Each structure stands twice: as C-alpha cells, then as structure tokens.
Chain A
Amino acid sequence: ETGVTQTPRHLVMGMTNKKSLKCEQHLGHNAMYWYKQSAKKPLELMFVYNFKEQTENNSVPSRFSPECPNSSHLFLHLHTLQPEDSALYLCASSLQAATNEKLFFGSGTQLSVL
C-alpha cells in the first residue's frame, strides 16, 4: 500500500498493558501527525512532528508517548490507558507542518481499552 500505512488496524488492550501504534508514510513528506477520532467529536490533534522534531503537543496525557525516529516513521506508545481512550487513532502526513495543508491520513488504528 502506498501513502500512509498504519498498524495494527485493530487493537484491544487492558489498562495495564503497554502497546505501540506504528505509522509509515511513503510520500516524501516532512511532517507527521497523530489525531484522535472519537464518536460525535471533532478530530483532535495530539502531536505534530516536523523534520523529526516535535513541534506541537496538544495537552495530551503522558500515558501517550510519541516517537519519530525519522521523517517517514511515527510511533505512539501507549501505557496505562483508560477506557475513555478508546477511539480511532489516525496518523497523517503533509509536505510541511508549517502550513498544515493537504493532510494525507492513514486508515487508523481502532483502539479498545478494557
């Protein structure tokens, strides 16, 4: 698959588990993002990375820990999550973070926290 690829597509975890979400983009973009999509709520920006450097942390709890080893890969490490963290987690990329324009989204990871 070209574009933005996310794994796994589905994840069920207990509140004491530690898991990681992975995102990879093949578009040559320099910026990558994590968004949270909950039912009946707007897409919520969590983190922004531009050229591997985190440029925005939108008041996200520390139980979510992002990692961006290079411009093509982005991880979201999860630990001691709460049931209200259950949501679709979307990764996106764009040419530059400065403009936030023309985001390309992955298919998301549907996370369920039990």
Chain B
Amino acid sequence: GENVEQHPSTLSVQEGDSAVIKCTYSDSASNYFPWYKQELGKRPQLIIDIRSNVGEKKDQRIAVTLNKTAKHFSLHITETQPEDSAVYFCAASIGAGTALIFGKGTTLSVSS
C-alpha cells in the first residue's frame, strides 16, 4: 500500500524566511496530494492541493511542487509570519475510492 514519509518533523525559522517541507510517496499511481495545516488545539484545514497532471501550484505565499519521477512533493511558504506556526500534514491518494494516506506531520515554528 501507499506510504508517505514527511521531513523534517520540526522546523524553526525566523519571521520573513522561507520554509520548505518535503514528502515522498511510494505508490506511483498516486495522483492527488493535499496539504493540511493544524494550529494548536484546532482542526486540520486544507491549505492547498495538487494533482499529478500539474507540476506546481501557488496560492499567495504558499506553493506546492510535485516531482512525479522522484515521487516527492514539497510545500513552500515564503515570507513566513508567526501565524504560520502550526503542524503541517501532507497526504497522498491514488484517487477514486481510496483513502488519503497522511504523513506524520511537521511542526513549524516561526519566531519574530
């Protein structure tokens, strides 16, 4: 079955710096890759997602890149702000009728 590895498990950056979180997946049939953000004590929320027919997607300060050959995808946050501090989860799915497989999460801390 699908396996998703996420790195790093913790990441500390200064406000204004960029942050990058990487995930690798094992099943080459995976075609949907969402990212969820979970602030302390709150629910996970979808922040961006990408399909396998797209190599990159951007939404303001957040971008996701996908390398199908290497089977990895990354979340890029630019100009980080303290409110970006949260746990970020990547996930992968091979599509219709299959479960989302989540990574273990990355705790991002942005200090001002």
Residues of A at under 8 Å CB distance from B?
4, 40-43, 45, 48, 55-56, 58, 90, 97-108
Whether B97 and A105, one on each chain, are in contact in the complex, defined by CB atoms closer than 8 angstroms, is no
Residues of B at under 8 Å CB distance from A?
4, 32, 34, 36, 42-46, 49, 89, 91, 93, 95-105
Whether B49 and A105, one on each chain, are in contact in the complex, defined by CB atoms closer than 8 angstroms, is no
Whether A42 and B104, one on each chain, are in contact in the complex, defined by CB atoms closer than 8 angstroms, is yes
Interface of A is mostly: loop
CA distance A22 to B111 in the complex (A): 37
Whether B103 and A56, one on each chain, are in contact in the complex, defined by CB atoms closer than 8 angstroms, is no
- Select one of A42, A56, A101 contacting B4, CB under 8 A: A42
B96: which A residues are within 8 A, CB to CB?
A: 98-99
Shortest beta-carbon distance from A10 to chain B in Å: 11
Whether B89 and A43, one on each chain, are in contact in the complex, defined by CB atoms closer than 8 angstroms, is yes
Whether A101 and B99, one on each chain, are in contact in the complex, defined by CB atoms closer than 8 angstroms, is no
Whether B46 and A103, one on each chain, are in contact in the complex, defined by CB atoms closer than 8 angstroms, is yes
A105: which B residues are within 8 A, CB to CB?
A: 36, 43-45
B95: which A residues are within 8 A, CB to CB?
A: 99
Which partner residue on chain B sits nearest A96 by CB separation?
B96
A40: which B residues are within 8 A, CB to CB?
A: 104
